[in-house]
Structures are given as structure tokens and as C-alpha cells.
Amino acid sequence: MTEALEKIPVLIVDDDPSMRAALRQWIRLAGFDTVEVAGADQALGKLTPEFSGCVVSDVMLEGEDGVALLRRIGAMDGDLPVVLITGHGDVPMAVEAMRAGAYDFVEKPFDPDHIAEVVRRACDKRALVLENRKLKARLTVSAGLESRLIGNSPVMQTLRRQILHFAGTDAAVLITGETGTGKEVIAQALHDFSPRKDGPFMAINAAALPETMVEAELFGHEAGAFTGADRQRTGRIEAASGGVLFLDEIVSMPLGLQPKLLRVLQEKKVDRIGGTRPVEVDIRLISAANLDPREAVRSGRLREDLLFRLNTIELQVPPLRERGRDSLLLFDTFLNRFAAQYGLDAPLTSARDEAFLQTYSWPGNVRELRNAAERFVLNAGVNPQPLEVLVTGQRQDGGQPAEGGLKELMDAYERTLIQSALRRHGGRIADVMRELNLPRRTLNEKMTRLGLSRDQAVSEDTLES
């Protein structure tokens, strides 16, 4: 038997000690662990919906019989296999037991090899049931995360897998990424899909508070600790105990407070301002930065020892411009949400709009895209404009939208995509091929047909800058 199979428990229920001993011997020889009880109430006390094995019970028990026990087990978990044993050859009882959901019915006297085989099959079935439950649970969680972090690009699929994996730990997480990429959404997901999901999620933006308030907000204070402190105040760290503390813009935390935060992370205790006794806290710290934290260390804005505590796990959130066609999916999602919110019809996007969605750099990332979708919906009924005009105030190339049939529109679309990629990557063909997922020969053919050249794209970008 395998090591995993040896750990599977089988619950034996029989009021005859000699029969329990015999079943124990046969079942353990077959490679299983055993748990033994004499009656129904004791048996139910050993079972949970996570029980990984099966139940083997005599039908004739003192007090409640095996069929009644079967029904009570079925009410708790209808997929838990129960094997019933009788020495009376009672066919009607066997029929009743099978109708009540028994996995199998074995008559005494029985062959030990037969009972071992029945148990083996029952445990195999139970393992399959539990694996399917886990799979369904993972799919449900994954679907919930996909609705928050929308995107089919490989980088987003990887990020979602990382979030689900790391959510189950208590390690400190540092989330890095440009403004508007959704760092707080990720922090919230790490909380919501974790064992701490029922605890608090306390968020504080270190850059949004005056320096004089940061210490009191984080650590709290006792009454009379300073002028105006007329009563005790619980800090955000203490309030987050049992859950997650999210510190956004961690690089903006005053340098003088960083050793105090480091001490909290090391000792799991917080000192209120004016306090005489530290307060124990149980928090998971998640922090975020839109700047390179290592550069912040080099420039003296962030302590290196604090960084080592913050980035046990580091998640890098990609900017929207590196997420391929995710901009189209996100825009369509936001479009429908805002249309429903305002009770309006969702406007259609043109080929020009879709080309702009994929070629614009989106410096404000998903936050900027969301704002653009809302404006697009609200303007559609009274003052419809191309998306690039709403976002930038002017057309990127100063020209008019492409006109003509499908071929002309597609050519304009491809030209915009390739030209933008050439500019973004400084004419590096290998990077353009990778972004657009095109082989070199196909890219060369398209550039020739569309009148594009690497040198021209780079020189135009230089002139514009």
C-alpha cells in the first residue's frame, strides 16, 4: 500500500470487543488506520465532512441500530461511505440499508479479504469525492478572483495563481506596481481568500496623512499622551489584530517611524503613544509601493531591514500597456457595468476605438481606463466622440478615422498596433514579435504591406518627444 493510503482512517462501529479486534486486524493488514467505537453517538463524534475514509458498522448495536446510524451519517454527509455488517442474513434489512444509502452490505461470516476489498473500494470512492470537492472549491475561488482581477493575459493568469497560493500563508507581502494598477484590490483579495477572511481588513495610505498624524493612526495613544488626546485611541495596527493591515505607499512612511513598525513585525506587539505596556497583536502585513523599493532604500527613504521584513513575498503588478488585449476586455466590462449603473444602452466601440485601447500607454492604468469607460458611456447619447479624443483631448496622429470597408479598417488597425509597438520598444523587432505574438516573417510582410519601417517609427517617436 502507498504511504497516502496507509493514513486513511476507517471507523469501526461494533459493540462486540472481539469483533472490533478482528476487524481492526484485517483492516490494518490491508494498509489502513482504524478508529474504533462501540455505539452510534460515539461514532458521530468521530466524523466530520472532511473525514477521509469510510465507516464499517455492525447493524445490531446496543441502543440505536446500524441503519439508524447510517441515516444520521447521511444527514451529515451523504457522500461518506458506510459498510454495514450483519450475522442474521436479513434480506429485507439489507434492502432497507441499501435504500438508506449504504455503500455495501456484508453478511457474517465473511472472508477477511472480501471485507478488505470492500473497504478499499469505499475509501477510493471517498478520495474521489473529496478531490472533486476541493476542485469545485478552487474553481469557485478562482472564478471569484477573476471577477476582481480581470484579464486573460499570461501575466494576469500568473498573478492570480500567485495570489491564491500566497493567500493561504501569513507571510508579509509587498505589492509593487504603477499607480492605478489595482494594488489595493490585490491586497483585499489576499485577505478575502485567506484563513483571516473573517478578520478585519484595515487600510491606510501613508502618503495621504500628515506626518504628525501617521504615528497616532498606526499605533494609537493613551488619554493625555499629548495635547488634545482627551481619551484613549486604538491604532490601526491594533484594530487589525486577527486580520490584515494594508499599508499603501509604504515608501512615504516617515523614516523616524519605520523602526517602530519594524519592532511590531518582529515582536508582534504595539506600543501606544504614552503607553506603559505593549499590546499583543496578531496581524498579517501587506504593503504596497508605486516606486522601486530598492531605489527607495538607496535614496535613504526606506530602511533596508524594514524592506527585508516587508517583502517576504513580492508581487509585481504589470502596467496595463504590458497586458496585451486585456485593455479590450476590461473596457468592455466597465462599459457594461456603467451602462447598467446609469440605465443607458452600452455604446458600440469602433475599430479606431479598439486600436486606441491597445496602443495608448495608459499612464493611469486600470483606473484611467475605468474613468474612460464611464465617460464614453455618458457621452454616447448626447456628444459621441472617439475614445482617443475623450482620453487625450486630441487624436494621436491628428488624422481622421480610417474609412472604407473591412480591409481598410483592418489595415489601419494593424498599422496602429505595429507602429505603436515599434515605438514602445525602440524598434527592437524581437520585442515587437513577442508582444504581438507574430513570427518574424509575418511581421516583416505586414510592415512591408503597411509601409512601416523600424527606423521611421523610432525617428518619429524621437521627434514627438
Give yes or no: residues 342 and 304 share one domain.
Answer: no
The domain boundary, picked from 132, 163, 191, lies at 132
The domain boundary, picked from 318, 336, 358, lies at 318
Mean pLDDT (10-residue bins), the chain, 465 residues: 62 91 91 91 91 92 86 91 80 74 85 90 90 71 76 90 93 95 94 93 87 82 75 88 94 90 92 86 95 93 94 94 89 92 90 85 94 94 88 62 60 78 83 85 87 71 47
The Cα–Cα gap between 17 and 438 comes to: 73
pLDDT confidence of residue 399: 45
Give yes or no: residues 272 and 171 share one domain.
Answer: yes
The domain boundary, picked from 105, 132, 159, lies at 132
pLDDT confidence of residue 234: 86
The contacts of residue 343 (CB under 8 Å, 6+ apart) are: none
- If you search the block for the grid coordinates 512612511, which residue do you land on? 253
Give yes or no: residues 127 and 275 share one domain.
Answer: no
Give yes or no: residues 101 and 78 share one domain.
Answer: yes
Give yes or no: residues 173 and 297 share one domain.
Answer: yes
pTM above 0.75, yes or no: no
pLDDT confidence of residue 56: 95
CA gyration radius for the chain?
Answer: 32
Q: φ, ψ for residue 173 (rounded to 5)?
A: -125, 135
Is 145 domain-assigned?
Answer: no
pLDDT confidence of residue 132: 76
Residue 122 belongs to what H/E stretch?
A: helix 112-148
Is 138 domain-assigned?
Answer: no
CATH code, domain with 126: 3.40.50.2300
Sign of the alpha-carbon torsion through 375, 376, 377, 382:
positive
Give yes or no: residues 216 and 300 share one domain.
Answer: yes
Give yes or no: residues 307 and 381 share one domain.
Answer: no
CB count in 10 Å sphere of residue 370: 18
Give yes or no: residues 154 and 106 share one domain.
Answer: no
Is 362 domain-assigned?
Answer: yes
Contact in structure between 172 and 128 (CB atoms under 8 Å): no
Instruction: Give the total number of structural domains in the chain.
Output: 3
Contact in structure between 421 and 414 (CB atoms under 8 Å): no
Give yes or no: residues 342 and 457 share one domain.
Answer: yes
Domain range holding 51?
3-132
Fill in the amino acid letter for 51: F
Is 212 domain-assigned?
Answer: yes
pLDDT confidence of residue 184: 94
Residue 13 belongs to what H/E stretch?
A: strand 9-13
Contact in structure between 325 and 153 (CB atoms under 8 Å): yes
Give yes or no: residues 300 and 380 share one domain.
Answer: no
Give yes or no: residues 173 and 294 share one domain.
Answer: yes
Is 63 domain-assigned?
Answer: yes
Is 274 domain-assigned?
Answer: yes
DSSP letter assigned to residue 208: T
Give yes or no: residues 230 and 347 share one domain.
Answer: no
Is 270 domain-assigned?
Answer: yes
Scanning 208-280, the segments in alpha helix (DSSP H) are 211-219, 236-239, 258-267
Q: Which residues of 215-231 are buried (b: 16+ CB within 10 A; e: fewer)?
A: bbbbbbbbeebeeeeee
Q: Residues 92-102: pLDDT tens digits?
A: 777 777 778 88
Is 143 domain-assigned?
Answer: no
CATH code, domain with 195: 3.40.50.300
